[in-house]
Amino acid sequence: MVGEFPDLQGIMGRYYALHDKEPAAVADAIAEHYSPLGPNDICPTKPVSVVIALADKLDSLAGFFAIDEKPTGSKDPFALRRAALGIIRLILENKLRVPLLTAFAQAVAGYTSLGKVDSDAVAKDLLSFFADRLKVHLRDKGMRHDLVSAVFALSGEDDLVRLIARIDALAAFLASDDGANLLTAYRRAANILRIEEKKDKVRYCGAVSAKELGAGEAETLLRAIDDCEGKAASALKSEDFTGAMSALSGLRQPVDVFFDKVTVNAEDKGQREARLKLLDRIVAAMNRVADFGKLEG
């Protein structure tokens, strides 16, 4: 039947399953096995259907990536991009908390009979592939791709539901005056740090001595960073990403005053080193929430 009429795959399977007295959930899962087929296709919501649809797509992606058969350019003979977008929709529309790296590793484990397969490498390749697909999916919904890059750059972030919550919070933060001004300050700090480290061939990082800063505005900024890091860490732990962005807002005023009143490249060697380390603290504090270096515009 399906050989003659390919569009009936799943549909006929459901009829056969019902005929054979299979549970309704099983019959429905067979019918929705291949869904969603495209951006306008209905996404399964029934638990058994969702599990089967996810398993099928994960298996296909893991198998082809394990043998290095990845989409190239406009060529995608095995519809792997569509499978990835299907997984993204299944996860996001059903609000599933799925750790993708773990799911990829488990899917790749089914292909160990092919020989030596580097499960970790395949899982990382798949996560990168999913990042690109997610950018496409969100772009179609009006979301900036660089926001996705900024959040995906965080080590170990493979939970799409959590990632979207981070992106939404980041977008709202950047749309505020505090967010826009702090992004400018971040870039200024990062640029100065990069130039001076390249010139001196030294990495300026580590503990900052308040005594060596030599300026009240610098000490005030140091205390603000300590406070921000504590509040942001607590908010991130509880997945309160709006709260984490709010914690960053507390840096705006002391950062602005610091750049207005303090000369980073002071003549005193100790002061200059301490102040450059302070710039590294600004960059590091913000990058714990999102990689602001990935943002454009």
pLDDT at 142: 85
What is d(CA 88, CA 232) in angstroms, rounded to the nearest whole number?
28
- Position 222 scores a pLDDT of 95
Contact 161, 92 (CB under 8 A): yes
Domain ranges across the chain: 6-166, 174-294
Cβ neighbours around 211 below 10 Å, total: 10
The pLDDT value recorded for residue 225 is 95
Q: Nearest Cα to 107, choosing from 58, 65, 68?
A: 58
Return phi, psi of residue 131, to 5°: -60, -45
Structure tokens at 267: 């003549």
Amino acid 157: pLDDT? 81
Report the CATH fold assignment for 174-294: Isoleucyl-tRNA Synthetase; Domain 1 (1.10.730)
Distance CA 240, CA 227 (A): 17
C-alpha–C-alpha distance, residues 104 and 42, integer Å: 24
Please tell me the predicted confidence (pLDDT) of residue 55: 94
- How much is the pLDDT for 254? 95
Q: Which residues, 6 or more positions from 62, have their beta carbon under 8 angstroms from its beta carbon?
A: 104, 107, 108, 110, 111, 122, 126
If DSSP states are collapsed to H, E and C, what string results for 119-142?
Answer: HHHHHHHHHHHHHHHHHHHHHCCC
Q: What is the DSSP letter of 117?
A: -
pLDDT of residue 120: 84
Identify how many contiguous H helices and E strands the chain contains and give both numbers: 14, 0
At which residue do the structure tokens 């990082």 appear? 205
Question: Which amino acid is residue 181, in one-letter code?
Answer: N
Q: Which phi and psi angles does 151 have, rounded to 5°?
A: -85, -40
10 φψ region: left (φ > 0), alpha (ψ -120 to 50), beta (else): left
Spell out the per-residue pLDDT of the chain, length 297, in tens.
888 998 888 899 999 999 999 999 999 999 998 999 888 889 999 999 999 999 999 999 999 999 889 998 889 999 999 999 999 999 999 999 999 999 998 999 888 777 778 888 888 899 989 988 988 888 888 888 899 889 888 877 889 999 999 999 999 999 999 999 999 999 999 999 999 999 999 999 999 988 899 889 999 999 999 999 999 999 999 999 999 999 999 999 999 999 999 999 999 999 999 999 999 999 999 999 999 999 987
Separation CA 242–CA 6 (nearest Å): 47
